[in-house]
Structure 1
Amino acid sequence: MPSPTPPNATRPRPPLLRHPRFVRLWCATTASGLATWAMPFILGLAVLDGTLTAVHLGLVLAARTAGFLVAVPLGGLLADRHSRRAVVLWSGLLAAAATPVMVAGLDTPPALMAAAALVVGAGQGACRPAFQALTAEVVDPDDRQRANAAITFSVRVTTLLAPGLTALLATVMGTAPLLLVTALFWLAAALLPGPGSHTAAPRADRAPFHTEFLEGLAEARRHPWFLAGLGALTVVIAAGYSSTSVLLPLASRDHYGTEAVLAGALTAYTGGALLGAVIVARWTPRHQGWTALAGLALYGLAPLSLILPVGPIVVFAAYAVVGVGVELFNVPWFTAAQREVEPGKLARVSSLDFLFSYGFAPVGLALIAPAAQAFGTDAVLVACALLCFAAPGLAALAPGARGFAVDRVARNRPFSRT
């Protein structure tokens, strides 16, 4: 006869797929990620078939980025002031409604299409901090790391499989119907999530918008590890991601004489990210913050692999390791914010994360090519690699960086630089 399980024994937690509220949220975040990824890719196909010019494509994508950057902090404010579920709903509906207007603008001057892209970007930006805060409401604290890993895993699978499928569908459907499909994804993102536990504050208790924004900044300052990690992430994206986005295609063409290296490196990166998501879903290192920052620092291998006289296999291996490292950072980073930040201010703090990390990426993209012309490609790649290594290393020195947490005393007082 088997002995009974001791009452204090640790039992394995049930799979997250058995939690309907998380499954609905996971499907919604996957749909929003797919819609976000698909739009620039489909518009790129429109340039190839002559429906859209390259100049118009640049204007439309710039408008979408502007809408995203404006809406991210506003979305964070609204998500903390009102129901996170309501912010996801209205931002998704906004993006879904604007997408057909983009389709109508394909054969017109770019103003209409750019205006619609601005609205789509605003919907995309407003939903991001709301989704982060809603995840913390829907998922129990002990399950959040697995939940964040599952969400990022779905995003990586999308980026791995969707390009080929989209290009294949474009030969049958055309770019305009494909854009309309993204509106359906936005509808799914808006309608699928269930309600969270956060409720709107009484109207009489609400402070002005600027006051609540400053409260979010004050909450972020209470977590020195968050400010340091955000600074490192911003530097790595602006330097590492931007350098490889601009210079990897050139290296593929000039060093190896084939675009296959570009495609192979990006595929290896996505494959590494998938592996990283699987690892971090099952592994919680003792010093989680330092491990995450070390994973972020691995991004320096990407520009470094483009300098050294190595074969394509080494480049692919470097990008695969970078992909693993990115997810070793992303999942603990999101989980720590959901754990450490005051729940009523989580969306505002998350909006700062997206605003800075995504906001400075266009700056890096704009500066890399002129810098390479002025100082040489190798010099720029070396500088970017050093920045990717140094920024997380410096962030690791911040209070609380070892575990992405601060002690209870520090949590109850504002962070002081003195």
Structure 2
Amino acid sequence: MTKFLRLWTGTTASGLATWALPFVLGLAVLERTLTPSALGLVLAARTVGFLIAVPIAGVLADRYSRRQVVLWSGLMATAATPFIAYGLGRSVPLMCAAALVLGAGQGACRPAFQALTAEVVEPSKRQGANAAMTLAVRVTTLVGPGLTALLALFLDAWALVLGTAALWAVAALVPPAGTFAPGRTNTAFFAEFAEGVREARRHPWFLAGLAALAAVCATGYSATSVGLPLISRDRYGTEAVLAAATTAYVVGALVGALIIARWRPRSEGWVAFGGLAAYAVAPLALLLPVHPAVVVGAYVVAGVGVEFFNVPWFTATQREVEPTLLARVSSLDFMVSYGLAPLGLALIAPAMEAFGWPWVLGFCAAVCLLAPAAALLVPSTRRLAR
């Protein structure tokens, strides 16, 4: 239990630091210390660093100790963060370079944390452990904006950015050592990563689920991220709908995580992909001329559904994948799902201008429904087992 508490603390600290930086830099924009275009460049650099580091870290975490990968990736992010703070109002190129290193640290710790969870937590308790991890992320997302705004009354953006460095230090130093001790290898990096891809291909449910997840991320998440602010302003004439729906999504995710922490459905894959498909109600609610309360309710349902997918998905990956290849398969998961999300965000706005937001929202809702349904055609997805 003590080991899991340390792991939970480290994972929560990394998640809070990841979430807090864009919010804090947004405050710097309000203070006119940073321009909106500079903010976009810094966050883009962080994303590039993340995507570069994820596959590399997957190989390293299977080649060496997962705990060591967590340590060095966290220390990398800790060291890079003060340079972002120093660059505020001074040098955007310095901020972008530091954000690239920070993103690499963030990306490197993801597959290592995923694999370390399988080492620290016994199989029968992993679903509850994964639910506890996601609960921590959702709580910080819900409480974080208000807490950060409160701290901003006493601290400037420079000090708040340095605060995220302290969080990364916790993520690096607090997690426990695992039990997995892989042997050293002289195999080339690409050969080792290809071995992880081959392991993923051995699990048809994983490939089908990853394709469905990538489709929902690239369409549904992107469409609602762009469409919700526009429709809140243009249809309802108030930002309150935007704030209420965003909060409702987090509340729904909290409820979903609490339920799935104890629920053990026999056909967990059907529940997981049904939850993923439930995200379709969000773009549908934005598409139809409904009361604002319906939009808020749709986001609650979407939040519940996302956790009904996330927790069984992580648990099944930890259970089914060969332990010596778990970090590489997890890195493939993060790389595909996170990698396509920025592409979707980049394309959604031009698509809305070209075809109109009703057509785009309708298309995205259809993809959110059909992609998980198509995944269920693969027999092994019913129980998320080969």
> Matched residue of 1:306: which SS?
helix
How far apart in 1 are the matches of 2:188 and 2:354? 47
Match for residue 208 of structure 1 among 167, 181, 188: 188
Instruction: Give, as a single letter, the amino acid of the residue that structure 2 aligns with 1:284.
Output: R
> Matched residue of 1:173: which SS?
coil
**Structure 1 unpaired stretches of 5+:** 1-18, 407-418
Which residue of structure 1 lines up, in the alignment, with residue 361 of structure 2? 381
Which residue of structure 2 lines up, in the alignment, with residue 181 of structure 1? 163
Task: Please state how far the C-alpha of 1:373 moved relative to its aligned partner.
Answer: 0.6
How far apart in 2 are the matches of 1:53 and 1:171? 21
Match for residue 278 of structure 2 among 295, 298, 304: 298
Which residue of structure 1 lines up, in the alignment, with residue 266 of structure 2? 286
Instruction: Give, as a single letter, the amino acid of the residue that structure 2 aligns with 1:75.
Output: A
| Per-residue deviation, residues 149-174 of structure 1 (Å, max 9, x unmatched) | 00000000000000011012112101
Task: Please state how far the C-alpha of 1:398 moved relative to its aligned partner.
Answer: 1.4
Q: Percent identity?
A: 65
RMSD of aligned C-alpha atoms? 0.7
**Structure 2 unpaired stretches of 5+:** none
1:145 aligns with 2:127: yes
**Bigger Rg, structure 1 or 2:** 1
How far apart in 2 are the matches of 1:237 and 1:299? 10
Task: Please state how far the C-alpha of 1:63 moved relative to its aligned partner.
Answer: 0.2
Task: Please state how far the C-alpha of 1:330 moved relative to its aligned partner.
Answer: 0.1
Alignment of 1:6-405 (within 5 A): 19-202=1-184, 205-405=185-385
Which residue of structure 2 lines up, in the alignment, with residue 9 of structure 1? none
TM-score with structure 1 length normalisation? Answer: 0.92
How far apart in 1 are the matches of 2:53 and 2:192? 15
| Per-residue deviation, residues 381-403 of structure 1 (Å, max 9, x unmatched) | 00000000000000111131000
Task: Please state how far the C-alpha of 1:187 moved relative to its aligned partner.
Answer: 0.3
**8 Å CA contact 1:100, 1:183 repeated in 2:** yes
Higher helix share: 2
> Matched residue of 1:50: which SS?
coil
Instruction: Give, as a single letter, the amino acid of the residue that structure 1 aligns with 2:90.
Output: T
How far apart in 2 are the matches of 1:36 and 1:199? 29
How far apart in 2 are the matches of 1:359 and 1:261? 29
Structure 1 ranges of 4+ moved more than 3 A: none
Task: Please state how far the C-alpha of 1:304 moved relative to its aligned partner.
Answer: 0.2
**8 Å CA contact 1:40, 1:61 repeated in 2:** yes
Which residue of structure 2 lines up, in the alignment, with residue 410 of structure 1? none
Task: Please state how far the C-alpha of 1:359 moved relative to its aligned partner.
Answer: 0.3
How far apart in 2 are the matches of 1:399 and 1:93? 43
> Matched residue of 2:154: which SS?
helix
How far apart in 1 are the matches of 2:82 and 2:160? 11
How far apart in 1 are the matches of 2:26 and 2:183? 43
Task: Please state how far the C-alpha of 1:219 moved relative to its aligned partner.
Answer: 0.1
> Matched residue of 2:380: which SS?
coil
How far apart in 2 are the matches of 1:291 and 1:137? 26
Task: Please state how far the C-alpha of 1:290 moved relative to its aligned partner.
Answer: 1.2
Number of residue pairs aligned between Structure 1 and Structure 2: 386
**8 Å CA contact 2:73, 2:105 repeated in 1:** yes
Instruction: Give, as a single letter, the amino acid of the residue that structure 2 aligns with 1:168.
Output: L
**8 Å CA contact 2:182, 2:324 repeated in 1:** no
How far apart in 2 are the matches of 1:385 and 1:186? 37
How far apart in 1 are the matches of 2:61 and 2:9? 20
**8 Å CA contact 1:299, 1:388 repeated in 2:** yes
Task: Please state how far the C-alpha of 1:176 moved relative to its aligned partner.
Answer: 0.5
Task: Please state how far the C-alpha of 1:210 moved relative to its aligned partner.
Answer: 1.1
How far apart in 2 are the matches of 1:123 and 1:198? 22
**8 Å CA contact 1:81, 1:206 repeated in 2:** no
Task: Please state how far the C-alpha of 1:231 moved relative to its aligned partner.
Answer: 0.5
| Per-residue deviation, residues 238-274 of structure 1 (Å, max 9, x unmatched) | 1010000011000000010000000000100000000
Instruction: Give, as a single letter, the amino acid of the residue that structure 2 aligns with 1:117.
Output: A
> Matched residue of 2:88: which SS?
helix
Which residue of structure 2 lines up, in the alignment, with residue 3 of structure 1? none
Instruction: Give, as a single letter, the amino acid of the residue that structure 2 aligns with 1:80.
Output: D
> Matched residue of 1:196: which SS?
coil
Instruction: Give, as a single letter, the amino acid of the residue that structure 2 aligns with 1:73.
Output: P
Instruction: Give, as a single letter, the amino acid of the residue that structure 1 aligns with 2:188.
Output: P
**8 Å CA contact 1:91, 1:124 repeated in 2:** yes
Instruction: Give, as a single letter, the amino acid of the residue that structure 1 aligns with 2:355.
Output: F
